[in-house]
Structure 1
Amino acid sequence: MSTRPGVHTTDYRATFIQVAEDCPVSAAEVPGLRAGRATVASLQYELISEHPYELTSDDVLFTVHADRQGVTEEDRPAARVEFFARAQACLRASPLGKRHGWGIHSDEDGRVALVPLGSAQYAALAADPSLKQLRAMRSKRA
């Protein structure tokens, strides 16, 4: 998706990203650390769960990237422009929906929240015809 030439976005509006067809869990799991370090999944989970419907996909993806790369607060505005000068993988590629059982709901303004697989909210959003329905990307080829 692109907002204007040379500027890319990963934001969806009024969309529900269901878990991948080959997601290995039947209920949502909080992603853990690996070797004592935060993973992309744990960082994304923390950001979205602590700020439901406050951040866009772009905000989440860039913040995780900047945190992992050690980008200072001062350098973030320029780094964000550079980051989105190239197309980036959207939250459909996130391990949250691929492996950990989290659906991702984007509201009309593109702000995101996590929805646990197996919950009534997940079932309602997955059945909502007013939302664009997508799936997280599969981990393996069909």
Structure 2
Amino acid sequence: MKVHSTNYTNVLITPSEDSKAAFSMMPSTSGTIGAVQFDMLQASPYTLTGDDLLIAVLATRKSIPQEEWADLRAEIFSKGQPCTRVSPLVKTMGWALHHDANSRIAMIDVGTKEYAALNADDNVRKIHGMRNKRR
């Protein structure tokens, strides 16, 4: 059986081109996908891969015990899943997501020197977050 993945390597996902956020914002409502992603990535930068984040957010929001996460992972990744390009962090909150050489993710404030350095680095591929609306 094919196992799908949402992981990127050496990629900077920049805010969606049609994001209304002028700067990186904190989530306004707790418990949403964006808020759970924000909390996890803020607490532990460069710890989770895209796959890990997807499972952790889903399991947290559905109160699935950690001992069941392996089964959840097998079920979820038996089919293709949306990647971090559709994250509310990049689509509506104005954050960038950096996937390092080990596919681990950190949330990057677009107003920082760190973002400017990553955006200027030719070894890091840049991809916009998915648009909110079709053209």
1:140 is aligned with what amino acid?
A: K
Aligned length: 135
Give structure 1 stretches of 5+ with no counterpart.
none
Moved more, 15-24 or 72-81: 72-81
Q: 1:87 is matched with which residue?
A: 80
Question: Superposed, which structure 2 residues align to 1:1-142 within 5 Å?
Answer: 5-33=1-29, 37-142=30-135
Q: Sequence identity of aligned pairs in percent?
A: 36
Displacement of 1:21 in angstroms is 0.5
For residues 69 and 86 of structure 1, the distance between their equivalents in structure 2, rounded to whole angstroms, comes to 19
Summarize deviations over 1:23-59 as a string: whole Å, max 9, x none.
Answer: 11111001121xxx51000000111111101111111
Contact 1:14/1:108 (8 A) holds in 2: yes
1:121 partner SS: helix
RMSD: 1.1
Unaligned regions of 5+ residues in structure 2, if any? Answer: none
Q: Whole-Å Cα distance in 2 between the matches of residues 109 and 75 of structure 1? A: 25
- Tell me the distance in 2 between the aligned counterparts of 1:70 and 1:87: 23
Moved over 6 A (4+): none
Query: The residue matched to 1:86 in structure 2 has which SS?
Result: coil
C-alpha offsets along residues 87-137 of structure 1, whole Å, 9 cap, x if unaligned?
Answer: 110000001001101100011000000101222211221121111110100
TM-score after normalising by structure 2: 0.95
CA distance in 2, matches of 1:141, 1:83: 27
State the one-letter code of the partner of 2:114: Q
Give yes or no for contact 1:26–1:117 (8 Å, CA) kept in 2. no
Q: Which secondary structure does the structure 2 equivalent of 1:134 belong to? A: strand
Letter in 2 for 1:25: A
Q: Secondary structure at the match of 2:131?
A: coil
**Aligned counterparts of 1:25 and 1:68: Cα–Cα separation in 2:** 25
